[in-house]
Amino acid sequence: MNQQKPIAWPVRIGDRLATAWAGRRIDYYDTIDSTNTVARRLGRLDPEIAPHGTLVVADEQTRGRGRMDRVWQSRPGEAALMSLLLRPAALAPADAVGIVLVTALAVCDACRSFGADALIKWPNDIVCGGKKICGMLLDMDADADRVRFAVVGVGLNISGYPSAEGLRHASCLNDAAGKVLDRADVIARFLAEFERRYDFWASGGDILPDYSARCVTLGSRVKVAGLMETFEGEALRVLPDGALMVRRDGGEETPVRAGDVSVRGVMDYI
């Protein structure tokens, strides 16, 4: 477990930053219900007070959540629990899925920079050796045609992870990298990767090739559990709108935009 005092985080993260805007304001909490909840509150403030790239980080969350309102469990001192507040210049709600792809790439590349063989399980889980080390969640406040602000939350297991029934597929970055890492170093590296990827994407750059190259789901046998049906097949590619194209066992190709996608050999799916 990281023994350094959490109160030093803002200073230690800031000292390691090499970004222009990501993480240049940091709000730190010892214990918080959810970093996404706080970042959403900040999003409603004047941008001069809570600018684009504001980072909310906590040592412990009491009500962390993931996709489909699942609980995200963590123990104090063991994870990077953080949310980034984003204020896109001109972004339609339908295009906000790009933020999810950017975040997954940034976390994946940050983990790989420390020696972990990290890959992306569509759409936004990071896995090492078939075990999950990170999950993400996107919230946003939007009008019909414009995103006012977005909040992307990241929960990255670094020095440990909860062990319980139903969580047998979890792991942490230290185990994957084979060394003890400082959370401040990991967060600073993530922010650098995120800013680079985000600026490229926001200027019209295509991030799908890099995302696809890191996506363990593609080319794999998958089981899709949707709201209306469950089926199996092969994951073919990720579409520009973020959907996963799956070839069903019968040969029909179906775009998957929601639901659970299990990947053969990943996170206990056999």
**Please, what are the domains in the chain?**
6-214 (3.30.930.10), 221-263 (2.30.30.100)
Give the whole-number percent of the chain exceeding pLDDT 70: 88
The per-residue pLDDT of the chain, averaged, comes to 89
- Judged against a pLDDT cut of 70, whether residue 2 lies above it is answered with no
Tokens found for residue 25? 């304001």
Comparing 94-103, 162-171, 204-213, 232-241, which segment has the lowest mean pLDDT? 162-171
Tokens found for residue 61? 């969350």
Q: What is the pLDDT of residue 4?
A: 42
The helix/strand/coil state of 136 is strand
CA 99, distance to chain mean position in Å, is 9
| Residue 139 CB burial class (10 angstroms; 0-12, 13-18, ≥19) | middle
**Digit-coded pLDDT (tens) for 209-264:** 999 999 999 999 999 998 789 999 999 999 999 999 999 999 999 999 988 899 98
> Cβ contacts of residue 67 below 8 Å, gap of 6+?
124, 135, 137
- Judged against a pLDDT cut of 80, whether residue 22 lies above it is answered with yes
* Edge-to-edge order in the sheet of strand 147-157: 26-32, 55-61, 79-86, 147-157, 131-142, 125-128, 118-121
Q: What is the pLDDT of residue 6?
A: 44
Measured between alpha carbons, how far is residue 76 from residues 57, 207, 256, 270 in Å? 12, 34, 35, 32
Residue 42: count of CB within 10 angstroms of its CB:
19
**Digit-coded pLDDT (tens) for 130-146:** 999 999 999 999 998 99
**Digit-coded pLDDT (tens) for 246-260:** 999 999 999 999 888
